[in-house]
Amino acid sequence: QSVLTQPPSASGTPGQRVIISCSASSSNIGSEYVYWYQQHPGTTPKLLIYRNTQRPSGVSDRFSGSKSGTSASLAISGLRSDDEADYYCAAWDDSLSGYVIFGGGTKLTVL
Amino acid sequence: QVTLRESGPALLKPTQTLTLTCTFSGFSFTTAGMCVSWIRQPPGKAPEWLARIDWEGDKYYSPSLRTRLTISKDTSKDEVVFTMINMDPVDTATYYCAREDSSYGLFDYWGQGIVVTVSS
């Protein structure tokens, strides 16, 4: 099965820009969209970025997504204390009859 | 307004079967492109996708858990039922149902989740 690899942790100070990466182990992901979710402790994951670069209504433009080949990134600019959360990437893998994989998550700390 | 709500048992014994129901509103399987997935998240770990059913009734399962899972839908009731057989303590997690649609793709709306504990 394919794997999406994220750094376990990231950090930044208020106002900084932070980038979280998501790398796929398989080229199966290369043509698929990547999604990003934000999860604060004790809450449900929230869709942050869909289809690589798109923000749902209501999501701050401080969050942006990009994708190149089998790697994707989430950038958070103007870091705020309430950005401290876990961030997960996800993608559809079209092999093995199709399934969804999640990255292992990145815990973002705002120093 | 789209909402999803999971219901089912909070506690199971090893080897028992888990049956969860996702009751939703604000969308329908009569609309092309609608899908509902089940996702679980063990305490302190990443979400793990389990299964999906789409508006046409096509079903998709996690390759590693396929033999234990069943997903079905009742379009008239706006419900999706999920079963996992042979539960084990390692299956202890919060179980979510989540919507996918053709506009956004994966999981734009999630239920609040249900905590399922497997213990003897």
pLDDT tens digit sequence for B52-107: 999 999 999 999 999 999 999 999 999 999 999 999 999 999 999 999 988 888 89
Q: B46, A101: Cβ pair inside 8 Å?
A: no
B-chain CB neighbours of A104 within 8 Å are: 46
Using CB atoms, pick whichever of A1, A45, A98 lies closest to residue B47: A45
Asked if residues A98 and B49 have their Cβ atoms less than 8 Å apart, the reply is no
| CB contacts, 8 Å: A34 with chain B | none
Contact B108 A103 (CB under 8 A): no
Q: Which among A89, A60, A90, A52 is positioned nearest to A77, based on CA atoms?
A: A60
- The residue of chain B nearest to residue A90, with distances taken between CA atoms, is B106
Share of chain B above pLDDT 70, in %: 100
The minimum CA-CA distance between A26 and chain B, rounded to whole Å, is 15
What mean pLDDT is predicted for residues B35-40?
A: 97
Sign of the torsion angle spanned by Cα atoms A46, A49, A54, A60: positive
Q: Is A1 in CB contact (< 8 Å) with chain B?
A: yes
Rounded-to-integer distance, Cα A6 and Cα A97, Å: 25
Q: Which residues pair with A60 in a beta bridge?
A: none
Q: How confident is the model at residue A98 (pLDDT cuts 50, 70, 90)?
A: confident
Residue A105 reports pLDDT greater than 80? yes
Taking contacts as CB-CB distances below 8 angstroms, the residues of chain A near B112 are: 44
- Looking at residue A95, its pLDDT comes to 79
Q: Is A78 on the interface with B (CB under 8 A)?
A: no
Amino acid A1: pLDDT: 75
How much is the pLDDT for A36? 98
Is residue A97 scored above 80 in pLDDT? no
pLDDT at site B100: 95
| Of the partner residues B52, B60, B110, the one whose CB lies closest to the CB of residue A44 | B110
pLDDT of residue B18: 98
**Residue A82's CB: how many other CB atoms inside 10 A?**
8
What pLDDT score does A91 carry? 94
B49:A50 CB<8 A: no
Which pLDDT tens digit goes with each residue over A11-69?
Answer: 999 999 999 999 998 777 778 899 999 999 999 999 999 999 999 999 999 999 999 98
Q: How many CB pairs under 8 A join A and B?
A: 62
